[in-house]
Structure 1
């Protein structure tokens, strides 16, 4: 079982407050003989559509001395998980969850803007102190 990220529990609580039912903690991705683990998976009933939205969430703290190195690692993991999810659980949408502070440091800068403009990844930003979701970026 993988170690939990520093902000795992606060992100999980933020998702619950946002109306998500956490169905897996962690979410096991089995591909061939390999087991990988996404931090969380959840479901939410969309009443207007009478359908259930399903997500998988990889939480990253970005606390090392190099934010760019953290971004490179998170992006590689996101791409790997996204490609596996598309094969084994295509009904789930993968999100990378990061703190508001990390978003400001990286995604309001040109390096992060390029990733958002090219729709390389989907993001959830959250406030770990208040345990609330602040943005969904598709």
Structure 2
């Protein structure tokens, strides 16, 4: 639901979308992360590359949405590690979701135990509010 919103927010923040979606083949299977993005840091240095999985958290149960997000994040991070990808994986979530479920102990456990990197975005202004590494 927020795919285009996050894409616009990343572009406003100076990122170039390189893959939509980012396909990561592994054996006979592939996983698809929502976006691949790159930002050139300086003319002389290599750019930073990210993979961004966008989660809407729209079901009746934020805990169930958290379970799904965790499963995908762990799977994608494992595939990226196996493939020796030089990208950092981010989970993109709305600002209200961050202030709600991710400010509670269950959300903080998710962030700390899985070294979760998060992009918090405002769906109205289509802008990045916060980067959490």
In structure 2, the residue matched to 1:93 is: 88
1:118 offset after TM fit, Å? 3.5
1:48 offset after TM fit, Å? 8.2
Q: Pick from 4, 20, 23: which aligns with 2:18?
A: 23
- Structure 1: which 5+ residue stretches go unaligned? 1-5
Moved over 6 A (4+): none
1:35 offset after TM fit, Å? 1.7
3-state DSSP of counterpart to 1:107: helix
Measure, in 2, the Cα distance between the counterparts of 1:18 and 1:25: 17
Measure, in 2, the Cα distance between the counterparts of 1:40 and 1:90: 14
Q: Pick from 33, 41, 55: which aligns with 2:36?
A: 41
Which structure 2 residues correspond to residues 1-138 of structure 1 after superposition, within 5 A?
6-47=1-42, 50-138=45-133
1:77 offset after TM fit, Å? 0.4
Check conservation: 2:9, 2:121, Cα contact below 8 A: yes
Measure, in 2, the Cα distance between the counterparts of 1:108 and 1:48: 38
The number of residue pairs the alignment matches comes to 133
Q: Comparing 106-115 with 53-62, which one deviates more in the overlay?
A: 106-115
1:97 offset after TM fit, Å? 0.3
**RMSD (Å), alpha carbons:** 1.4
- Structure 2: which 5+ residue stretches go unaligned? none
1:90 offset after TM fit, Å? 2.2
